[in-house]
């Protein structure tokens, strides 16, 4: 297992915020830099365990390939699906340009 | 008869079936109780009094026609991250303020079909992320045993409402302890079922491999009644168990002779409040007096559960909460945006509260290129070890017992500044969730300040009946559950 630093830089936090699509102010970036570093520092204890031969938990259930009967059912009416949207036009959600 | 709001579900059902009371009178008593105490406690986010009274009238009509159902005419509350058709469902977040689901969660549909009456929606930490209900975007809920203290979380509104008689029972959700820990801190019974025992369809998703809904009730009999209705396979949720739900009521026997209860030394470690340890050890002695056997067991990876959980759950949350984008429902940031990316970032940055942002960020980091192996994959491997601890222990014992929470209710504001301190409130409830096994918290005494202490019993997957059996026997022998907070009247 490679050694990783649990100390995040301000740039790291800004990068994570961009990945998560959240706009953060300078104060929040600084606060999360401290708090996330502390949490990751605590989580570093996991690196002390040898897990090379341990499979990851993919599910706690013994279930495999779950399929149900392919029966037609009712779907949500368009007006219900649009009812909670902030801005709509016709049968569409309105958004700024997708670039 | 005592005040109607003080009844258990099974007492109320007896009275309804005899014709001693009506569902309208019962429901009105709950609404009056809410009016009297909820300004102080703030357990509810949304109340639906007119609809509740209409449902109660309909239940009384059915009963007059000779019909019955498992919860016919019983007023309950639902945590506000459970979708209710036509009733606002906020998940305690500004980003979902005003959102009205066009459908019911499967468990809601089942509870309604069983005759339950919905009083309203209860407060929670935003998106069920928290251990005190202080992370609600709207207001904190207070503990009915001491209103300067938290009710626990994230199902704090549900726990407080049941403790004080603002609902006969409530539904919460438990991702890492969010039913059991507030149940302990408010002195009520709380159940986390086996992962996959109840449908997750219609729960506002937090961590999909961990989320489970469960009941909060006054006593064990009520918990069994509620789970009986909620549990079962759902074609809408591919992770529900196909096994039929056993009749839990037949498990409620006071005879636990020969039952083997495992006591993990790891659950009595440093950091455990002395009063909590005393109450829990006294509870274990009660089991001995009842003829059960206490067995030392070892769960060697217990100390790693916190780190494991706080990587797995945020990782899943960062993916699940990607859907809140200001486009299809919920809050949208004000202003003109050049691109849709700007809209996403401004909406999410302003719409999510600090704890949710923290977890989304942590999860995004744990999943990101270059860190996935070291954090997320590593945590999922350690999760296998934690589950293996339980598998090994259950080859030798029927149940595993310990404290639900290391401490009793803490003061508002005491832990909000330091996220790790807040996370430590869940230290005894995380590993069962990671392993997917059921556990119950039940009242087992009080600390020196008169605050309730919770005893936790965990069982192997799908063995809820065994858990109810032991909990019922303990409850019959002790009567802690009959204590009520002094906020009464």
Going from N- to C-terminal start, the domains of chain B cover 8-256+439-482
The backbone torsions φ and ψ at residue B66, rounded to the nearest 5 degrees and listed phi first, read 90, 10
**Between helices A26-43 and A10-19, what is the axis angle to 10°?**
100
Highest CATH level, class, for B8-256+439-482: alpha beta
**What's the token pair of residue B67?**
């019909």
**Location of structure tokens 């990945």:** A19
> Does any CB of chain A come closer than 8 Å to the CB of residue B339?
yes
Residue A7 confidence (pLDDT) above 50: yes
| Cα–Cα dist B91/B331, whole Å | 13
> Does any CB of chain B come closer than 8 Å to the CB of residue A5?
no
For A34, the closest chain B residue by CA position comes to B418
> Does any CB of chain B come closer than 8 Å to the CB of residue A29?
no
Å between A56 CA and nearest CA of chain B: 4
**B65, exposed or middle or buried, with CB in 10 Å at 0-12, 13-18, 19+?**
exposed
Is B178 one of the annotated active-site residues of the chain?
A: yes
Interface of B with A in 205-224 (CB under 8 A): 209
Low-confidence stretches of chain B (pLDDT beneath 70):
1-2, 488-489
pTM comes to: 0.97
**How do residues A50-67 score in pLDDT, each as one tens digit?**
999 999 999 998 866 778
Q: What pLDDT was estimated at residue B271?
A: 84
Closest by alpha carbon to A39, among B273, B375, B181, B152?
A: B375
For A99, the closest chain B residue by CA position comes to B339
For B359, the closest chain A residue by CA position comes to A36
Cβ within 8 Å, pair B341-A21: yes
**Between helices A10-19 and B354-367, what is the axis angle to 10°?**
90
Instruction: Give the fold, CATH level 3, of A10-47.
Output: Histone, subunit A (1.10.20)
> Does any CB of chain B come closer than 8 Å to the CB of residue A36?
yes
Q: What pLDDT was estimated at residue B167?
A: 98
**Sequence ranges of the domains in chain A:** 10-47
> Does any CB of chain B come closer than 8 Å to the CB of residue A1?
yes
Q: What pLDDT was estimated at residue A2?
A: 45
Residue A74 confidence (pLDDT) above 50: yes
ipTM of the complex: 0.94
Q: What pLDDT was estimated at residue A3?
A: 53
Cβ within 8 Å, pair B358-A35: yes
What spatial distance separates the first Cα and last Cα of chain B, rounded to whole Å? Answer: 16
What pLDDT band is residue A80 in, cutting at 50, 70 and 90? very high
* CB-based contact B443:B188 (threshold 8 Å): yes
Chain A residues within 8 A of B419 when measuring between CB atoms: 35, 38-39
Q: What pLDDT was estimated at residue B213?
A: 98
Chain B residues within 8 A of A73 when measuring between CB atoms: none
| Cα–Cα dist B20/B13, whole Å | 10
Cβ within 8 Å, pair A35-B352: no
**What's the token pair of residue B473?**
């026997």
- DSSP per-residue string spanning B284-297: HHHHHHTT-EEEEE
**B66, exposed or middle or buried, with CB in 10 Å at 0-12, 13-18, 19+?**
exposed
Interface of A with B in 38-97 (CB under 8 A): 38-40, 42-43, 45-47, 49, 51, 54-61, 63, 66, 68-69, 76, 80-81, 83-87, 93, 95-97
For A60, the closest chain B residue by CA position comes to B436
- Containing B221, the helix (H) or strand (E) segment is helix B220-230
Q: What pLDDT was estimated at residue B367?
A: 96
Å between B12 CA and nearest CA of chain A: 37
Q: How many CA atoms lie within 13 A of A79 on its CB side?
A: 0
Q: Out of B131, B136, B154, B279, pick the active-site residue.
A: B154
The CA distances from residue B317 to B101, B178, B386, B405, in Å, are 20, 15, 21, 24
The backbone torsions φ and ψ at residue B311, rounded to the nearest 5 degrees and listed phi first, read -110, -45
Q: Out of B83, B155, B178, B318, pick the active-site residue.
A: B178
What one-character DSSP code corresponds to residue A45?
G
In chain A, what is the greatest distance between 2 CA atoms, to the nearest angstrom? 57
Pairing relation of β-strands B44-47 and B399-403?
unpaired
Region A66-93: mean pLDDT is: 91
Residue A6 confidence (pLDDT) above 80: no
Cβ within 8 Å, pair A54-B341: no
**How do residues A15-59 score in pLDDT, each as one tens digit?**
999 999 999 999 999 999 999 999 999 999 999 999 999 999 999
């Amino acid at each position: 297992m490679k050694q990783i630093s649990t100390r995040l830089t301000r740039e790291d936090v800004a990068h994570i915020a961009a990945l998560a699509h959240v706009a953060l102010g300078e104060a929040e970036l600084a606060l999360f830099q401290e708090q996330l570093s502390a949490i990751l520092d605590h989580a570093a204890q996991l690196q002390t365990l040898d897990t090379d031969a341990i499979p990851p938990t993919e599910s706690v259930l013994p279930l495999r390939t779950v399929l149900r009967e392919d029966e037609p059912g009712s779907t949500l009416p368009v007006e219900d699906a649009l009812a909670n949207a902030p801005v709509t036009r016709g049968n569409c959600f309105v958004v700024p340009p997708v670039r | 008869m005592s005040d109607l709001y003080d009844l258990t579900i099974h007492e109320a059902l007896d009275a309804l079936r005899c014709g001693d009371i009506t569902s309208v009178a019962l429901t009105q008593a709950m609404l009056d109780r809410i009016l009297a105490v909820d300004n102080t406690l703030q357990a509810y986010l949304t109340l639906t009094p007119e609809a509740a009274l209409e449902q109660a009238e309909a239940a009384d009509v059915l009963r007059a026609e000779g019909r019955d159902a498992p919860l016919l005419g019983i007023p309950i509350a639902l945590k506000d991250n459970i979708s209710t058709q036509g009733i606002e469902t906020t998940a305690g977040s500004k980003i979902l303020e005003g959102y009205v689901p066009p459908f019911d969660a499967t468990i809601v549909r089942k509870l309604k079909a069983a005759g339950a009456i919905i009083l309203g929606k209860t407060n929670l930490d935003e998106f069920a992320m928290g251990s005190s209900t202080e992370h609600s975007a709207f207001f904190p809920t207070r503990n009915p045993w001491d209103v300067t203290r938290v009710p626990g979380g994230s199902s704090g509104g549900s726990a407080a409402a049941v403790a004080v008689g603002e609902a006969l029972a409530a539904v919460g959700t438990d991702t890492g302890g969010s039913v059991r820990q507030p149940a302990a801190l408010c002195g009520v019974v709380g159940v986390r079922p086996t992962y996959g025992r109840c449908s997750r369809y219609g729960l506002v998703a937090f961590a999909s491999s961990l989320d489970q809904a469960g009941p909060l009730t006054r006593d064990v009999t009520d918990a069994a009644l509620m789970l009986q209705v909620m549990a079962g396979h759902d074609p809408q949720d591919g992770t529900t168990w196909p096994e039929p739900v056993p009749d839990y009521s037949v498990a409620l026997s006071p005879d636990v002779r020969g039952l083997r209860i495992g006591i993990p030394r790891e659950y009595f470690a440093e950091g455990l409040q002395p009063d909590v340890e005393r109450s829990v050890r006294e509870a274990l002695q009660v089991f001995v007096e009842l003829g059960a056997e206490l067995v030392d067991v070892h769960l060697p990876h217990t100390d790693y559960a916190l780190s494991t959980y706080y990587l797995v759950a945020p990782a899943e949350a960062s993916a699940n909460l990607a859907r809140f984008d200001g486009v299809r429902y919920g809050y949208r940031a004000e202003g003109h945006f050049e691109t849709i990316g700007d809209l996403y970032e401004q909406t999410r940055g302003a719409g999510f509260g600090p704890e949710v942002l923290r977890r989304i960020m942590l999860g995004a980091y744990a999943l990101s290129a270059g860190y996935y192996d070291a954090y997320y994959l590593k945590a999922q491997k350690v999760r296998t070890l934690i589950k293996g601890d339980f598998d090994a222990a259950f080859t030798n014992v029927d149940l595993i017992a310990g404290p639900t929470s290391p401490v009793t209710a803490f003061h508002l504001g005491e832990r909000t500044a330091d996220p790790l301190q807040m996370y430590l409130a869940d230290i005894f409830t995380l590993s069962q969730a990671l392993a997917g096994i059921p556990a119950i918290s039940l009242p087992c005494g009080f600390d020196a300040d008169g605050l309730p202490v919770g005893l936790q019993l965990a069982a192997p997957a799908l063995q809820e009946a065994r858990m109810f059996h032991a909990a019922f026997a303990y409850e019959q022998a002790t009567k802690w559950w009959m204590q009520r907070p002094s906020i009464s009247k």
